[in-house]
Each structure stands twice: as structure tokens, then as C-alpha cells.
Structure 1
């Protein structure tokens, strides 16, 4: 599931220089202090988590988002060791998806994407839900090409639909093609999930999953709305 990291390290050095002044430093230290006081961490535990966040900041990872996870964990009384491991996995995921975005789109476009923590967070969330690298890169590429101002919101829904279709039993290649077809349509992302209903309706009419998927793949790019797609598919 890895990418060829050795091939992109040289350009990442330049990339970090480019984005270093763009990513916000945030006010995470003050939030961290408030959180650890309420959590009653030991001095060693506090230092360990602080070191992790400091390393994340040095690596240009969005620390404010990690602090948010820390606050959520403390509020839920998650054990310190479990919380630390979760934060470390999150830090690694952000670092990995940044490398993947650079690898797929190049420095200039990657700079624009990761300078927006909301977009970067959405990519990382889809990655952590288990979408394979090649499919995640395909999702990034297809939604980055969308003309819609909501393309990264649509990306979030597209990734969710891909996961749902595969959990539902649709073959991997077809499920990705369904999402790609939707990305080429004018259908808003919040309607993507309702595509599952088209499969349910087709199965009720004894239509195979593959046939339904191919109808959606053929029809979605020409559909202005979900209702139009429903009429074309049924």
C-alpha cells in the first residue's frame, strides 16, 4: 500500500519550504495547556504528547486538528497510551497523504490543497478508512478536475460512496467507475449516497449489480440531478 517515498523526498524538501509560510502556526499551545490540566496527565505523559505535537508542527502537519483529537479523547476519558497512539497514527496519516497528493498532482497543486486544512483532512479521513492508495489517488485526481466549487465536499461524499459500495458487495473496479461517473455529473455530493437506492431498486427487479453499475456509469455524466439519473437508470 506504499508509494515510492525515496523518489519524492527531494521535492518534498522544496515543498515544505513553499508551504511553510502558508500553513497557520495556530494557537495550539494554549489549547494544549488547558486540555492537559483538565486531564490530569503525569508530567511524563504531558511531555510525551507535547513532543509529538511539536514534531508535527515542525513537519508542517496541521497541529490544531491533532489538538482537536486530543481534546475529544480527553473528553471521552480515553486512556493516555491509547490517546497517544491515536495521535501518532493521525500524524503519520497526514504526512503520508501529503506525500501521496504531491506524488499524484505535483508540487504546485499539492501546495494549494494542503494549504487548506479542511481539504487535507478530508483526504486523510478517506485514507484512514482503508481506501487503497491507487484508488485514493484516483479520487483525488477525478475530483480535483471537477469544475464545481464544492468539488472537495463532493470528494468526501464520493469517498464515502466508494467505501459503501464495496462493503455492499460491488466489485472494486466497477465501484470506482461509478464514483468517477458521478464526479463527471452535475449531481451534488450530498446526493451520492442515494445511489445505493438505485441498486436496491434494481435488485428488487432482479437486475444484476453489474448491470445497474454499468447503467449508472453510462448515464451519470449526462445527469443534472439524482432524479434525472434515476429516470435514465430505471
Structure 2
């Protein structure tokens, strides 16, 4: 049995690209929402979180309405003689949309747990908002942000419904591992589907194991630092 490994490379490339995009967008939105005090906060939070609870096929349908030939962005792309639907870019967009809520919610929770007195003290010393974020806020919230990044990657790696609707099943182009599992199983090739299942389980488990190891390591370093500080004070 010859196994085409292109779904694995497409999945990894899509997941890594989507995670990179989601990291910056999700972190920026989380930082903005953690400081936002307007009346629309509840509505905006609902909108940002909605893809997390909607069925993936519904998310894919909305993406089709937006990027399809008759959609607002689809018409613009058509004038530029290009299209996103049924392309590799569509797999990335689908992965970004479904993984964004995890990055946003987890990062926002981490940012809101920071002691605001530390941030305000830096501001009173004349430190710019940009430096406050990169030098104080981000390091303090980094464990939570790192966890959000890993969860986003795992969600992007396992995306199926929205990807199938906007990118289809084009071998060597848009066929990710979840899509390959569905169509090989549907075609009766259970052995091949099982290989893909085992592969994606190994990738996901490895990522989560490394994340847990890193978190435990950081926790031990933090405990050691606190213990040293306590001994010094004594």
C-alpha cells in the first residue's frame, strides 16, 4: 500500500500558518478587549467567540457567503482575477476562523489575571504603552498565551467541516489529514484511514506533551525563584 503523505504536509503547513496568523490577531484583540470598557463589550465578545460554538459547517457556509463569487470579498477578488475558494488559502482561512476563539479567550483570561498595579506603576514612570505590553504584560501572561497558541494549533490541525466546504478535497492541494480520513473511510479504505488517524493522534499528543513539559518546567523555575527570594529575605 502506497501512502501519499501530501495531506500531512498540507495539514502541518496550514496549521502552522494559521497559528501564526491567529497568534498576532488573537493577542491583539485580547489585549484590546481586556482594556475596553465600552457598552458593546458583551456583543463583541460574543462575536469573537461565536465560531467556537457554531458547527464547523455553519462557519464554512458563512465563509462561502463572504469569499464566494457573489460575496463581498469574492467580488473584489474576482475583479483581481483571483479566487480563494477551493485553494490552499481557503484551508488557512478556515483554520484561522475556527481556532481564533481559543487564542482570544485563553489569552484574554491570561491578560486579565495580571496585577494591574504593576502595569500602572510602569505607566506612571513614563514607559510607553508599547514597551509596557512587550516588557511587562506579555512576559507575565506568557504561560497562558503559550497554552492558547498550542490549543489554537491543535484546533487548526483537526479542522474538517469548514475546510471541506470552502477548500474541498483536492489531493495535493487542499486535502488535509481530517479530510483524507473522511474520504478514505468513506471509500472503504479503512487501513489507510487508520494510518491517518494514528498519525494525527501522534502529532497532537506530541504537541500537548511538549506543552505540558514546558509548563511544568516553567512552574519549577518560578517556584525555585520564589524560594530563593524568600531565603534571601530571611
TM-score by length of 1: 0.24
TM-score by length of 2: 0.24
